[in-house]
Structure 1
Amino acid sequence: MAFKIFQLISFIFLIFILLAPSGHAKRNTPSGKKSSPFDFIKKLKGCHKGNNTKEIHELKVYLEKFGYLRYSNKTQATNDDFDDVLESSIKTYQENYHIKPSGVMDDETISRMTTPRCGVPDIVNGTNYMQPRNRNHESGSSGIHAVSHYSFFEGEPKWPPSKSHLTYRFLPNVPAFAMDPVARAFQKWQSSTHFTFARAQTNQNSDLVIGFYRGDHGDIDPFDARDGTLAHAFAPTNGSFHYNADMRWSVGAVAGAIDLETVALHEIGHLLGLHHSSVEAAIMYSELGGGQIKNLHADDIEGIKFLYNR
């Protein structure tokens, strides 16, 4: 009798182990959600100028969000016509992501557009931050003319010299498992720049604030389930860094989930004044696939040093 009870308890324990959620990946997406945020893009495979397809208006919303498209006519912005303006914006997108600028929704373009990304636009007020630009790097008394791939926000905002030590805090809506990855990201930036960082308590004032949000959360950039936005952060000295709570987050590389630390490294770069980089290996590249881990790159460090003249 005791042996049978032992077998029953062992069986129940085994079932519990098999059904328990993984400790590595944290899913914040509602369990009833089955569709991918990119379903509308995948349906547009092969579309080109002259087409009229049901999901084209959603593609226009996507490209407008990231700065590639702007219509003066509301009808053009909301209809499903693949017009000259849309073709031109797709060509610019393709050039930014090193794709042959055909203006056609080909496989490579769809693959890029369906990769989760930062919510900070690539183009702002007509300035394309994904394009390499010439800069003069000083070396001794002579200037060295070089092409850089990093970029800065409009007006090159930065923290004043008196604010090389920055404090950060987590809002109450940040899950406990996300805090250590963010702290490690701050330490990596600290070890590679002149900045130092220290965590403040939730109820204290701080220079930087990290939170998790869904949808329209009171800033100028609401999260949208259709575009796969991971997070966004604002230029100095705003200090706000927001994760999209509807994404699947992980600590480390987990297939189908996004690494918290890698995204934190990217968004902290924005908090310090970096915009996006056209170097795919750089942490300031706008996209990050599921299961992917990245670290600081020479382009990122060079950008911070150039911005702060160090």
Structure 2
Amino acid sequence: MAVKFSRQLFVPILVFFVLLPYVAKASPIKFESLQNLKQAQKGEVVNGIHQVKQFLKAFGYYPHQINLLDNRFDDVLESAIKTFQEFYHLNVTGEIDHSTIKAMSTPRCGVPDINLEQTSNGHNHGMFHFVSNYTFFGGNPRWSKYGLTYNFLPDSLEVVNLPVLRTVVASAFQKWASVSPFRFQEVAQGNRADIRIGFYRGDHRDGYPFDGPQRVLAHAFSPPDGRFHYDADESWSTNPGRSQIDLESVTVHELGHNLGLDHSQYQTAIMFPSIPLGTIKRNLGQDDVNGLRALYRY
């Protein structure tokens, strides 16, 4: 059951680019829609190639200055596919093969994997020279305090029973608190809070619309913005079946973004960008712990 309340106030789009360089406006691509591309060769024009380009551009792999996203398999696309394959530890072929299609089709976070300002251990890294560990947002934004408040937005859709949601979110916050000096306290709706959480559907007036089931699951903004949005159209569960999304796993990941961590290449890290349906992945990896420690220098 979904209950919709009043809309939140619009925030100028300039703020989004200052606080979070990019939030993806494309989605993971449905597995079936890419099957006809497996035999595509460089130089060919194949219907559907533009979807791959849109996906790779949205998540940081395709040059943002290129606006023509046509169906030609060109050199730029081959290079972008290789970068994607390297990030996901796939065989680097530059081809749209089965493993690449599967990775592109997996439900994921809406925050891109790569941006030009992204840093790892405080140093910029090139597109083809990944460091397989934690990364930060450009400029290393972080909170200036360790005591943070959070609440649930009053215009959020009622997708998960509030007592259940409160329990899950508190557990996710505790994962980060247990490895850091951070302490998190819930405050009542209407009170000012550092991190603000809600469920939204489609265009929810933050500039980054959601896309329906089993695609982009959620997105969160880096400090000190503090917004955290779930896609209300997902099949959320605290005990997921094969076609459901684990609520706490995604919550722990998105809170990492709220604290200032970007995506990690380590598949065992909570900050790895994608999570298959039915997967429970609620515990921090050492890479996540190291990343937070490096960012806040404690």
Same-fold call, TM cutoff 0.5: yes
CA positional deviation for 1:201: 1.2
Task: Indicate the residue corresponding to 2:79 in structure 1.
Answer: 88
Provide the rounded CA distance (Å) in 2 between the counterparts of 1:273 and 1:71: 23
Question: 1-side partners of 2:64 and 2:173: how far apart?
Answer: 40
- Residue-by-residue CA offset, 1:24-83 (whole Å, 9 max, x unaligned): xx99xxxxxxxx844423442232312222111111111111011136454x31x21111
- Aligned twin of 2:141: 157
Task: Indicate if the aligned counterparts of 2:212 and 2:234 stay in contact, CA closer than 8 A.
Answer: no
1:168 aligns with one of 145, 150, 162:
150
User: Hey, what does 1:182 align to over in structure 2?
Assistant: 169
Residue 121 (structure 1) aligned with residue 112 (structure 2): yes
- Structure with the bigger percentage of strand: 1
Map 1:58-97 onto structure 2 (within 5 A): 58-70=51-63, 72=65, 74=67, 76-77=68-69, 79-97=70-88
Unaligned runs of 5+ in 2: 3-28, 124-130
CA separation of 1:41/1:181 partners in 2, compared to 1, >3 Å: closer, same or farther?
A: farther
* Correspondence 1:232 to 2:232: no
Q: Give yes or no for contact 2:212–2:231 (8 Å, CA) kept in 1.
A: no
> What is the Cα deviation at residue 93 of structure 1?
0.3
Please give the alpha-carbon distance, in whole angstroms, between the structure 1 residues aligned to 2:219 and 2:141.
17
Is residue 98 of structure 1 aligned with residue 86 of structure 2? no
1:130-172 CA-partner distances (Å, limit 9, x unpaired) = xx7687xxxxxxxxxxx76001110101001xx2111111124
Which residue matches 1:200? 187
Q: Percent identity?
A: 46
> How many pairs does the alignment contain?
260
TM-score (norm 2): 0.80
Distance of 1:119 and 1:99 partners within structure 2: 21
How far apart are residue 180 of structure 1 and its match?
Answer: 2.0
Residue 3 of structure 1 corresponds to which residue in structure 2? Answer: none
Alignment gaps of 5+ in structure 1: 1-25, 28-35, 136-146
Alpha-carbon distance between aligned partners in 2 of 1:187 and 1:265, rounded to the nearest angstrom: 9
Partners in 2 of 1:221 and 1:42 — Cα distance?
A: 28
Q: What TM-score, normalized to structure 1?
A: 0.77
Q: Per the alignment, in what secondary structure is the counterpart of residue 192 of structure 1?
A: coil
Shift of 1:220: 3.3
Alpha-carbon spacing, 1:50–1:81, altered in 2? closer, same or farther (3 Å): same
Most deviating of 169-178 and 94-103? 169-178
Corresponding residue for residue 238 of structure 2: 251
Query: For 1:204 and 1:71, how far apart are their aligned partners in 2?
Result: 38
Establish whether residue 50 from structure 1 lines up as the match of residue 43 from structure 2. Answer: yes
Q: Are the equivalent residues in 1 in contact too, given 2:264–2:272 (CA < 8 A)?
A: yes
Decide which of 219, 223, 227 is 2:210's aligned counterpart.
Answer: 223
Query: 1:232 Cα deviation (Å)?
Result: 0.7
RMSD: 2.4
Whole-angstrom CA distance in 1 between matches of 2:138 and 2:242: 36
For residues 232-262 of structure 1, give each alpha carbon's deviation from its aligned partner in whole angstroms, at most 9, with x where no partner exists: 1011000000111122111123211110000
Where 2:151 maps in the other structure, the secondary structure is strand
- What secondary structure is seen at the aligned counterpart in 2 of 1:123? coil
User: 1:72, 1:289 → 2: CA distance?
Assistant: 31
Cross-structure match for 1:22: none
Distance 1:114 1:38, change over 3 A: same
> Quick one: distance in 1 between partners of 2:107 and 2:99?
15
Rg larger in structure: 1
